[in-house]
């Protein structure tokens, strides 16, 4: 058993080349081809804005309309709040792991270390494929938003424009990504804040044609719609809306000071959820009826069906719908920008340990994984296929997006489980938690709660996907199920495939065999004082500020 003194060096520098090859082969991981280093250019303000704006995208501005239509304002308020709590605990668990192990690949490498290399392989590729497929879809979505102003220009022109802009951003590396996200996040934050004020003004009758509304739409058509199926549908839509929240943890490896900036960024999750999601959607439910037929078109990327745009149009305000559509366009571009970051960093980390083509592990002198970027941009060209007439191309995208369906639930659940096993391994190996620089106030119980919530999300998604629509044929029901739940068997195939390749059938790494020392950024066990045990009230407040 390792003693605290043996494990507690001041800072164990990251050195992939020093790992034991015999241990790596035993775990099914190949020796890294190069000790490439990403450039640590992200400042605290970059991580703050990445965390703040990471989940504010089309899921809020457009997808919330489908949620409002499916379950009503009551279901929207409850489900988004519950998912928000889940993401708060998940991000804080990721913050603790990222501070101790600020590696490129983040939760991919956490899964390798604390769960099982095979599951890490499945998580890494699942996450990479999600961003790879989302990118061309977002390019099309951004082009669709332009049709709000001009539908005479072929959308292929706008796809080209957005693709060129994205490629130019990549030239500036992680600093370019950070600066762009800062600007776009500020715009989205201002828009959300402005809509809250406008919504209150509309609801009180100061602006608009409907007069004072109050809680009228909560009574008629009602706070809840479509029973349990409607509630479960909102639960699933809400879960998908928070995709990208984990990017702050992925950016830890390129942060100048991850020990301070990552926890602070992850604490912003609470305020982001409370202010930008829950409060915005509560106001939305007060000024737009959930039975509005126009909301039925908000399942895709149609900004004309955005509940934000519809509410402003109904109030008779002529200029603001155009401004809000511009914000939606910016939000979609922001997601495309995040796609490039999420894919390239994950694949580069996987390539370093032999779980992706080793040629993709190369990082240039400016600290950019350009080979991964080239692969991403080449795949983005498939966006032009989506512009084929008669929606033939979009049918292909429907099946491509099915591969990403419930992947986030596996990723978030794995983050929580990795945190649980990290804490357990520390206990089994006799290491004090005082060595850990940052510990979330929810502790390991927060991770357990979030893990259970992810299981509930998977069950809700299964119910929604498997339940036949009235009058649907067996073939239509099967197609509906696989389009919504295909990601689950894909994850299983990835897991099983790597098991077969490596011949290692162990389900998880034993706690006593988990390597807690390599690459760890523990506190100095000699020159620090144990943390004062704070009352629960102060610890919970510390999670928010």
State pLDDT tens for residues 321-339. 888 888 888 888 888 888 8
Residue 178 lies in a domain: yes
Residue 260 lies in a domain: yes
Number of structural domains (the chain) is: 1
Range ranked top by mean pLDDT from 52-61, 122-131, 254-263, 401-410: 122-131
Condensed to tens digits (0 to 9), the pLDDT of residues 348-405 reads 888 888 888 888 888 877 778 888 889 999 998 888 887 777 666 667 767 777 777 7
Residue 513 lies in a domain: yes
Alpha carbons within 13 angstroms on the beta-carbon side of residue 485 total: 17
Which is more confidently placed, 455 or 266?
455
Burial class of residue 12, CB neighbours in 10 A (0-12, 13-18, 19+)? middle
Confidence tier at 5 by pLDDT (50, 70, 90): very low
Residue 28 lies in a domain: no
Give me the pLDDT at residue 417, please. Answer: 94
Residue 526 lies in a domain: yes
Confidence tier at 238 by pLDDT (50, 70, 90): confident
**CA neighbor of 24 nearest in space, from 500, 464, 532, 518:** 518
Residue 24 has pLDDT above 90, yes or no: no
CATH classification at residue 160:
1.20.1740.10
Residue 264 lies in a domain: yes
Residue 413 to residue 451: CA distance in whole angstroms: 5
**Full domain range(s) for residue 266:** 4-21+41-542
Please give the structure tokens belonging to residue 260. Answer: 């301070």
Residue 128 to residue 240: CA distance in whole angstroms: 16
Residue 27 lies in a domain: no
Condensed to tens digits (0 to 9), the pLDDT of residues 500-539 reads 988 888 888 888 888 888 877 787 655 545 445 555 555 4
Condensed to tens digits (0 to 9), the pLDDT of residues 31-62 reads 444 445 666 666 666 666 776 666 677 677 77
Residue 138 has pLDDT above 90, yes or no: no
What lies within 8 Å, CB to CB, of 257 at 6+ separation is 44
Please give the structure tokens belonging to residue 283. Answer: 């106001």
**CA neighbor of 354 nearest in space, from 19, 14, 129, 6:** 19
Instruction: Answer whether 249's CB lies under 8 Å from 45's CB.
Output: no
Burial class of residue 257, CB neighbours in 10 A (0-12, 13-18, 19+)? middle
Residue 215 has pLDDT above 90, yes or no: no
Residue 31 lies in a domain: no
Give me the pLDDT at residue 139, please. Answer: 85
Mean pLDDT rounded to a whole number for the chain: 78
Residue 107 has pLDDT above 50, yes or no: yes
Which is more confidently placed, 87 or 208?
87
């Amino acid at each position: 058993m390792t003693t605290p003194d043996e494990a507690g060096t001041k800072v164990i520098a990251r050195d992939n080349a020093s790992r034991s090859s015999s241990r790596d082969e035993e775990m099914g991981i190949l020796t890294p081809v190069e000790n490439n280093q990403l450039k640590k250019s992200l400042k605290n303000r970059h991580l703050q804005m990445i965390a703040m704006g990471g989940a504010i995208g089309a899921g809020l501005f457009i997808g919330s309309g489908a949620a409002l239509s499916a379950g009503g304002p009551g279901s929207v308020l409850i489900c988004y709040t519950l998912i928000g709590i889940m993401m708060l605990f998940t991000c804080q668990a990721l913050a603790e792991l990222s501070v101790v192990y600020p590696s490129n690949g983040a939760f991919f490498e956490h899964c390798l270390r604390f769960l099982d290399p095979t599951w890490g392989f499945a998580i890494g590729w699942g996450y990479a494929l999600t961003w790879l497929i989302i990118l061309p879809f977002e390019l099309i979505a951004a082009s669709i938003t332009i049709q709000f102003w001009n539908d005479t220009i072929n959308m292929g022109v706008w796809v080209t424009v957005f693709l060129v802009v994205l490629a130019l951003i990549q030239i500036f590396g992680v600093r370019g990504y950070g600066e762009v996200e800062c600007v776009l996040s500020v715009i989205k934050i201002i828009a959300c804040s402005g809509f809250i004020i406008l919504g209150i003004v509309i609801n009180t009758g100061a602006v608009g044609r409907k007069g004072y509304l109050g809680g009228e739409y909560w009574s008629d058509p009602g706070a809840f719609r479509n029973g349990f199926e409607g509630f479960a549908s909102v639960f699933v839509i809400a879960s998908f809306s928070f995709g990208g929240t984990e990017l702050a943890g992925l950016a830890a490896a390129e942060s100048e000071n991850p020990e301070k900036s990552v926890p602070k960024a992850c604490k912003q999750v609470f305020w982001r959820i409370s202010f930008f999601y829950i409060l915005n959607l509560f106001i939305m439910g007060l000024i737009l009826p959930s039975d509005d037929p126009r909301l039925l078109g908000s399942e895709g990327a149609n900004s004309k069906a955005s509940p934000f745009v519809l509410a402003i149009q109904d109030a008779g305000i002529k200029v603001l719908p155009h401004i809000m559509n511009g914000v939606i366009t910016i939000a979609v571009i922001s997601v495309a920008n995040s796609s490039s970051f999420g894919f390239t960093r994950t694949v580069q980390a996987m390539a370093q340990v032999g779980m992706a083509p080793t040629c993709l592990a190369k990082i240039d002198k400016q600290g950019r994984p350009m080979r991964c970027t080239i692969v991403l941009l080449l795949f983005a060209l498939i966006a032009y296929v989506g512009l084929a007439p008669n929606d033939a191309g979009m049918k292909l995208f429907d099946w491509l997006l099915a591969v990403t369906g419930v992947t986030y639930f596996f990723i978030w659940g794995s983050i929580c489980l990795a945190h649980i096993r990290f804490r357990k391994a520390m206990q089994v190996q006799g290491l004090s938690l005082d060595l850990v620089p940052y510990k979330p106030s929810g502790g390991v119980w927060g991770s357990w709660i979030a893990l259970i919530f992810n299981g509930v999300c998977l069950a809700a998604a299964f119910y929604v996907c498997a339940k036949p629509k009235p009058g649907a044929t067996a073939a239509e029901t099967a197609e509906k199920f696989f389009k919504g739940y295909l990601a689950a068997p894909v994850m299983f195939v990835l897991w099983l495939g790597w098991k077969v390749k490596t011949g290692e059938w162990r389900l998880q790494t034993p706690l006593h065999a988990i390597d807690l020392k390599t690459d760890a950024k523990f506190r100095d066990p000699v020159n620090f004082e144990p943390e004062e045990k704070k009352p629960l009230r102060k610890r919970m407040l510390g999670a928010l500020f």
